[in-house]
Amino acid sequence: MNIAVVVFFWLRSLIFCVFLFFVFSCQPSSHKTLILAPQQSITAAVSTLLPGDTLLLHGGIYRECVKLSCTGEKDVPIVIQAYPGEKVELNGTREIRNWTKIKSNCYKAFCPQEVHQLFLKKKMLLPARWPNIDSMFDKKGWVEIFTGKDSAVFKGRIWPKNYWNGASCYALTGEKWVVNMQSVQSCNDSVLKMNSKWFNHRSAYYTGSGKGYMMKHLNALDTINEWHWQNDTVYVMLAEAPELLEGQVNEVVLSADSISNVLVKNICVFAGRAEFNNCNAVILDHINISFGTFPKPYLYSNGASAAAMRFAGTSAHCQIKNSTINGNWSSGIFMEGDANEAYNCVVSNCNWLGNGSSAIATEGKNHVIMNCDLFNSGKFLVEHGYTAHIKILYNHMYNGGYLANDLGLTYAYRTRGEGSEIAYNWMHGNWAENAGAGIYIDIDGHDFLIHHNVVWDCLSGIQTIMNAYGHQIYNNTVWNCAKAINYWGPYGSNMYNQKAYNNLSDKPFNAGNDLRNNLCVSDWPTLDNENRNFTLRKGCAAIDFGGYVEGITNHYCGAQPDAGAYEFGMPAWVPGYDSTCVYAD
């Protein structure tokens, strides 16, 4: 080797050493970066992190129930994220192999842990069900049922003794507000005896005639892509013999209690929930949760809190943003506590059971739901009961009420809003058979500010149930609803100081104690409703028809504010998420 080559390699080594010294000497000595592989424990690594530290996860599947026990400091958070350019999946399943054929298209395998959901190549298979369905929101195949206090009878059906023992019976009966579930204790001829009373709370409202189905029983396993777990065995019907299926055995795969100032970023969660209890300033950014919840015996709204992602207890100033949540038997997001936020998220295909769950549910105060796309739910899209001073802004919400009745795409019951604001949203497609509204403030609601929303394809655009106190309803656009605004209440109830100004609709806007400048038109004045261009046409009647409302119509172009949600001459606002910022595989 000649001397020039030796000098070259010596200089290159020296430069590299200087580079390493510069990189590490310029970082605070107390801040470290750990890099982890799927075979290693995230929980163990997290326990060593200090404020300012970063944990990078190499791509792969982590079949671990991760418990975060680290706490950062304000402006010096702990960061846990995927290694750049790699996909990390926290997975609540176990692999199930060694399948044995029982009969044509029917197989079984040993699994000692109870299986909650079953997947073939990430596709969810359906729990054994009678009668069978074409989609999760399909009610056409449900059969007529009558429920008593603790019994059920399917019309025209006679069963062998004990045929359905241990099965789950689902029924939409009585007032049909929710689909209720009970386990079958005994079966004799046509009568199913339940383990307990149907909906112990006010059961008279929830029993009677309606429709229902059976689920989670071996006798219902009769079609391709259904499955059932019993004792220590999984049974499945498939077109071809399986080699590997994934069975969910863990409910919560990412959790924390009483931590603060932690950022979790670029993580997938499959077949499991994320739950943060009594946490502060925890940020979830670019998170994807698929099939987070499984069918459980939820009562009414209890399913709302058993969400795919929860900020629970006294959690405050936590945020989920730029994230997607899809495929849930109950709710997508639940926020409790104070000042938590869902921002720029897509939450879809929730509440496959038809109970009181929703895409996003809240309790507490000062929460924000903003710039989200929320769609496809068996009941609500946003359920914000018992939440004070919430802001629901710039969201696109559509297709709720597939499985139950008496609901709004946004809904609150006996709630003191304390100035809660529902504004600049598009809401459409409430498919409830009765009492299906866009915005629904139920009995004894107080002080909601509802303005600049566009609502269509609902039974009622806006509905306030008496007693109703102090609602302010300004500059909304409502079209193609049976009623633009609706109200009713029990005998002796009333409406107090409800104001409705500057609303634009194709039906009378006539519910309130103080009605001003509301315009009902037959010749619709916006440019192109079908393509969601709600800008007013030049010269239409809505222009300058409204009146001034402090803080609501401060910025207008003409002689007076316009009626409806869009001001002629001003830039048109568009709600919903920014697709360039949301998590994508």
Judge whether 509 and 475 are in contact, CB under 8 Å: no
Judge whether 369 and 390 are in contact, CB under 8 Å: yes
Cα separation, 487 vs 440, whole angstroms? 10
pLDDT in tens, the chain (585 residues): 443 333 333 333 333 333 222 223 233 446 889 898 988 999 999 999 999 999 999 999 999 999 999 999 999 999 999 999 999 999 999 999 999 999 999 999 999 999 999 999 999 999 999 999 989 999 989 999 999 989 999 999 999 999 999 999 999 999 999 999 999 999 999 999 998 887 765 677 889 999 999 999 999 999 999 999 999 999 999 999 999 999 999 999 999 999 999 999 999 999 999 999 999 999 999 999 999 999 987 665 556 778 999 999 999 999 999 999 999 999 999 999 999 999 999 999 999 999 999 999 999 999 999 999 999 999 999 999 999 999 999 999 999 999 999 999 999 999 999 999 999 999 999 999 999 999 999 999 999 999 999 999 999 999 999 999 999 999 999 999 999 999 999 899 999 999 999 999 999 999 999 999 999 999 999 999 889 999 999 999 999 999 999 999 999 999 999 999 999 999 999 999 999 888 766
Alpha-carbon 149 to chain mean position: 31
Alpha-carbon 249 to chain mean position: 22
Q: Among 221, 223, 270, which Cα is nearest to 246's?
A: 270
Cα separation, 11 vs 27, whole angstroms? 25
Cα separation, 532 vs 569, whole angstroms? 17
Cα separation, 110 vs 507, whole angstroms? 61
Place of tokens 């239409």: 540
What is the model's pTM?
0.94
> Can you give the pLDDT at residue 17?
33
- Residues in Cβ contact with 257 at an 8 Å cutoff, skipping those fewer than 6 apart: 277, 278, 279
Give the burial string for 54-83 (b: 16+ CB within 10 Å, else e): bbbbeebbbbbbbbbebbbeeeebbbbbbb
> Can you give the pLDDT at residue 585?
67
Q: What is the pLDDT of residues 461-500, one digit of tens each?
A: 999 999 999 999 999 999 999 999 999 998 999 999 999 9
Q: Strand locations in 8-99, DSSP E?
A: 33-36, 54-57, 60-62, 66-68, 78-82, 88-91, 93-96
For the record, the structure tokens of 301 come out as 């709204």
Number of Cβ within 10 Å of residue 555's Cβ equals: 8
> Can you give the pLDDT at residue 28?
41
> Can you give the pLDDT at residue 204?
77
For the record, the structure tokens of 80 come out as 């846990």
- Residues in Cβ contact with 577 at an 8 Å cutoff, skipping those fewer than 6 apart: 344, 345, 346, 371, 372, 373, 396
